[in-house]
Structure 1
Amino acid sequence: MLASWMGNPMHTLVLDPGFLPIKVISWRRALCLSFLDKVEVLASYEREVRTVSHSYPTPSVVRLLHAARPGPQVVRFSRKNVYLRDNHRCQYCGVQYSDHELTLDHVVPRVDGGKTTWTNVVTACAACNRRKGGRTPEQAGLPLRTRPARPKWTPMTLAQRLPVHDVPEAWRTWLGVASGR
C-alpha cells in the first residue's frame, strides 16, 4: 500500500498533535473523524464530497486532536517498494532502469522452494533475469550487488525516496519534501 497512496487524492495524511506525520488513511475515514471532532482538517483537495444538502472538501491533511498510541511502522512487500528499496537498479548489472523496464527476480528460484519475501526478491533487468533463469546467482555466475533485506525506512520517510511529483502538494510541508527537488 505504501507506494500506492502517493499522488492518490483518495488518501489523507494524518499528523499527531505535535504535527508529525504518523500514517495515511482513506479520505472517508478522515471525513468521519472530522465529523466526530477527533481531527482538525489542515488542508483539503480541490475535490468536494456532496450530500443532498451539504458539500464538504475532501481532507488531504488532518491533525489528531488527542494523542493516539502509535502502531507498528512496517513497509509492506510490493513490487513498487522493492523497486524503491533497490533504487530502480538491476541487482546483477547495476544499471538503473524505469519501472516498466524492471522485473522482480527470486534469488532462490521458486522451483527450488524460494519464497516471495523481502530477503529473496530483488530487481533485475529483463536481460539479466533471462540470463539467470531458474538458477541461483552463484550457479548463473551473476553475483548480487547487495543482499536483499527488509527496508529500514518507514512509511512516512518513503515520501523522501519518491519523485516530488508523486507526493501530493498539500503533504510536502508536513513530510519535509521540497517542491523543487
Structure 2
Amino acid sequence: MSKQVLVLNASYEPLSLVSVRRAIVLLLREKAELLEATQQMLHSSSCSMPVPLVIRLVHYVRLPHRRVPATRAAVMLRDAYTCQYCGDAPGRTNLTVDHVVPRSRGGSHGWENLVTACTRCNQKKGSLTPEEAGMSLRRKPFEPSYVALVLLSNPVAAARWEDLVNGSRETIRPIPIGATP
C-alpha cells in the first residue's frame, strides 16, 4: 500500500502529502474527491474503496506563503543528492552540507549560501570561498518553494501530478467512492 497520498487544492495545485488514513477521512467527509487510486481495495463492514493516490480538495484552501527551513535533508533534496562542485552522487552518507561563503568569513546559514558537497570537495574547499579554492558551483543555490520540495520528496506523486496537469482538466473525472478505478 502506498504510504503517502498527494493532496491537490481545488485549483490542482499540490498542497501536501498525507497518509492514506488522512486521505480516506477527507474523502469520507466529502472534503476531497478521488482523482487517482491503486488497484488495491480497502474494505470495511459497510463499504469498499480503492486506496487513494491523488485526491483534490472540493473547496479552494488559501494558504499563506510557506517558507521551508534550510535543513540538511531539505538542502540535499533540493540538490538531488548531488555534489554541487563535482557533480558526483556518492550517496547520502558521503555527502555534506557546505557553506559557499564559510561561516568563519561571515557567511549565513540560509538557502542562498548552502549547497550539497561530497566529502572530498568539502575538505578541498575548507574555509575558502569557491573562487579561492579554484572550484565552481554547478548551480547557484536558491530557496525552493514548499510545493517544489513536496514534489521532490515523492517522485511518484510528482509524476502523477504532472500527468494530471498536462492532461486536460476537463477530461479528469473524479472516481466515485465505492467504485473501482
TM-score range relative to shorter protein: 0.5 to 0.7
**Pair 1:82 & 2:75 matched:** yes
% identity of equivalent residues: 32
Q: Which of 96, 108, 113 is equivalent to 1:103?
A: 96
Aligned residues of 1:108 and 1:136 also touching (Cα < 8 A) = yes
What code does the residue aligned with 2:95 have?
Answer: L
Aligned residues of 2:74 and 2:149 also touching (Cα < 8 A) = no
Match of 1:28 in 2: 21
Distance between the aligned counterparts of 1:113 and 1:46, measured in 2?
Answer: 54
Match of 2:58 in 1: 65
Question: Structure 1 unaligned runs (5+)?
Answer: 1-7
Q: Which of 133, 154, 158 is equivalent to 1:141?
A: 133
Match of 2:156 in 1: 167
Aligned residues of 1:21 and 1:156 also touching (Cα < 8 A) = no
Q: Measure how far apart 1:143 and its partner are.
A: 4.2
Distance between the aligned counterparts of 2:143 and 2:14, measured in 1?
Answer: 20
How many residues end up aligned between the 2 structures? Answer: 163
Distance between the aligned counterparts of 1:158 and 1:72, measured in 2?
Answer: 14
What code does the residue aligned with 1:70 have?
Answer: L
Higher relative contact order (CA 8 A, sep 6+): 2
Q: Can you list the C-alpha shifts for 1:113-170, whole angstroms capped at 9, x where unaligned?
A: 766431332121221112223x13269624442553313x5515874x78xx931465
Please identify, of 138-147 and 26-35, the stretch whose mean Cα deviation from structure 2 is larger.
Answer: 138-147
Match of 1:5 in 2: none
Match of 1:4 in 2: none
Q: Measure how far apart 1:69 and its partner are.
A: 1.7
Distance between the aligned counterparts of 1:127 and 1:174, measured in 2?
Answer: 41
Q: Measure how far apart 1:107 and its partner are.
A: 3.1
Is the alpha carbon distance of 1:48 and 1:72 closer, same or farther for their aligned partners in structure 2, counting shifts above 3 Å? Answer: farther
Q: Measure how far apart 1:23 and its partner are.
A: 0.9
Is the alpha carbon distance of 1:157 and 1:120 closer, same or farther for their aligned partners in structure 2, counting shifts above 3 Å? Answer: closer
Tell me the secondary structure at the aligned position of residue 155 of structure 1.
helix
Tell me the secondary structure at the aligned position of residue 65 of structure 2.
coil
Q: Can you list the C-alpha shifts for 1:75-131, whole angstroms capped at 9, x where unaligned?
A: 453445424544555333x33425445322133546777664313321212211122
Is the alpha carbon distance of 1:139 and 1:170 closer, same or farther for their aligned partners in structure 2, counting shifts above 3 Å? Answer: closer
